[in-house]
Amino acid sequence: MKRILFSLLAGVAFIHAYAQTGQLPAGYYDGTAGLNGAALKSKLNQIITNGHVQHTYADLWTAYQTTDVDNFYENDGTVLDIYSENPTGTDPYNYTFSVNQCGSVNGPEGTCYNREHIVPQSLFGEALPMKSDIHFIRATDYQVNGQRSNYPFGVVGTATFTSLNGSRLGNSASTGYAGTVFEPIDNFKGDIARMIFYFVTRYETQLTDFTSTNGTGNMLGITAYPGLQTWELNQLLAWNALDPVSAEEIARNNASFVYQGNRNPYIDNPLFVDEVWGNITLDTQAPTAATNLITTGTTYNSVSLSWTAATDNVGVAAYDVYANGTLKATVATTTATVTGLTPSTTYDFYVIAKDASGNLSPQSNIVTETTLNEPAGGSCGSENFETMPANANNYTTRTWTNNSITWTATSARTDETINNRAITIRNGELSSTSISGGIQSLTLTTQLKYTGTAGNLNVEINGNIVGTIPYSATVTTTTINNINVTGNYTIKIINPSSSNRVAMDDLSWSCNGVLGIAESAKDKSAFSIYPNPVRNNELFVKGENLSKISRAEIYDLSGKLIDIITKPFKNSNRINLKGLQRGIYILKTDETSTKFIVE
């Protein structure tokens, strides 16, 4: 059934909307006449903050039985879910209050409903009263809620997920933003816009303490006015005009007022939207460039950086960190650790500052750094969590297989990011099936999500603790060395905290022991070295298809990587040993390893 939309034409809108509410107290919006812009927004903040009764998060389940009832489409008293409602036909499914509610569960769309924060909890650290404010928390299908994750709202270009009522997730086609966005169907775009307008008005004095960037997209501004990032504000203003206030919104506003004691002013008086934001002066001034970029630490697969902050007429929102021209990280502080780099490789780094309106600074100075050689034994494997199950914000057991290793994460959610996707665990563990080849070192990137205090993860190899990995709100990459386990082994990383939510990304580990102490080859006749012992720092190799060998590595007997030569025999069959000291070494190529002696 198509819902009834009300005309919002100019002067009629205010009177018409007020007449429909019935429960609007006399004088509720006194003091707003003649105000506009930031002054009006601040006055509305005072009005809707007064009288706000804070309830618990669990109280929402009962409140929905009066605020989110379908008396407008099917008119059957079921849950009115904006992510599944079909306004022009039969709904794909319907939910009964209490019977079908859930917190975390596995199952397809249509299994149960839960509580969807239109403004993600990660932006305000799950703190009260925001966490339980009914004006922007809707009862929606749990699966679609999980797919939406923490992504901002915008127009989708190419969808990667489409719900049964046509709500979509995919790349942004909204002007000014190129990340992933979620797009509801047209009938609820205005509802979404007005809920977000309510949020940035009710909590405008706290926006500076909230997070504008949540790892999956940009949404909130960092100042009380306008309160939103420019691209998102422009998109929501367009949706507000496209989908005017409806009877369903008015009824929900009234029921929410009875329950919570405050109202959404942009439903009561739609003209407030234009009066607050219609004549906004956009910030077009870009930040200055960050300066004094330096490296502060280097490993075989990461480089840590710091710099002097950029300046801006309003405020710097974040910094984009680039390596060899590719965006590697976005951070809100003046430090970053770029992970997932290639060992023994030279990188040029620079950063670009950006403000809440999306204005970009010139690039900083360039700093050049070369990553270290791989730890002893070389890299044996890695897990970047890109193939784990689809994004979901509930905590349950997740299982997936990558590179012949099956991973199991308990009490885990899959919707957070560090460098792209990351597994987030609370009072649970990440464990692998058996891996061969021994393990010498293990590296992991961590970040504490939402609220909590810094702590440590326990790392077990074959059930024995071999070290701990710290975590905090800052992205941190840590390597545990000297694990020294041979043969088959399992990896287990444990978060013992019952409250801290810790994201993990870019897990990698190195082999244990010396590679190729025994001479080996698929075809020994195809590879031989001379002279052996070597006396003049020149090692010669004889065999077939030498020019096809892509890489040669030299190790000492402790397993330390001494040198890497790319395409070593492209132009000759000689390797320059570069003054190696006397001793026994190992030459390892694509398919062969053999010992040689330097005298």
Domains of the chain, first to last: 38-277 (no CATH), 291-370 (2.60.40.10), 379-510 (2.60.120.260), 524-598 (2.60.40.3080)
CA gap 148, 84 in Å, rounded: 13
Please tell me the distance from the alpha carbon of residue 457 to that of residue 495, in angstroms, as a whole number: 5
pLDDT the model gives residue 342: 83
Q: Indicate left, alpha or beta for 583 from its phi (over 0: left) and psi (-120 to 50: alpha).
A: left
Residue 247 · residue 17 · CB < 8 Å: no
Residue 277: Cβ-neighbour burial (10 angstroms; 0-12, 13-18, 19+): buried
**Whether 199 contacts 48, CB under 8 Å:** no
CA distance 390 to 386: 9
pLDDT of residue 6: 35
The helix (run of H) or strand (run of E) holding residue 17 is helix 12-21
> Mapping DSSP to helix (H, G, I), strand (E, B) and coil, where does residue 432 land?
strand
How far is residue 196's CA from residue 135's CA, in Å, rounded to a whole number?
9
Q: Give 323's DSSP letter.
A: E
**pLDDT, position 559:** 66
DSSP 8-state class, residue 386: T
Residue-by-residue pLDDT tens, the chain, 599 positions: 333 333 333 333 333 334 344 478 999 999 999 999 999 999 999 999 999 999 999 999 999 999 999 999 999 999 999 999 999 999 999 999 999 999 777 789 999 999 999 999 989 989 999 999 999 999 999 999 999 999 999 998 888 999 999 999 998 888 888 889 999 999 999 999 999 999 999 999 999 888 765 444 478 988 899 999 988 998 999 999 989 999 999 999 999 999 999 999 999 999 999 999 986 665 678 899 999 999 988 877 789 899 999 998 877 877 889 999 988 887 878 999 888 888 888 999 999 998 766 678 999 999 999 887 665 645 567 899 999 999 999 999 999 998 789 999 999 999 999 988 999 999 999 999 998 778 888 999 999 998 889 999 999 999 999 999 999 988 899 989 878 887 789 999 999 999 999 999 999 888 764 333 333 334 444 567 877 778 777 888 877 778 888 888 888 766 677 888 888 888 888 888 888 888 888 888 876 778 888 87
What does the alpha-carbon distance between residue 478 and residue 443 come to, in Å, rounded to a whole number? 6
What gap in Å lies between CA 192 and CA 197, rounded to an integer? Answer: 9
CA distances to 4, 101, 351, 362 from 365, in Å: 58, 54, 8, 10
Q: Quick one: how far is CA 475 from the chain centroid?
A: 12
Angstrom distance (rounded) from CA 488 to CA 494 = 20
- By residue count, the chain amounts to 599
Q: What is the pLDDT of residue 356?
A: 62
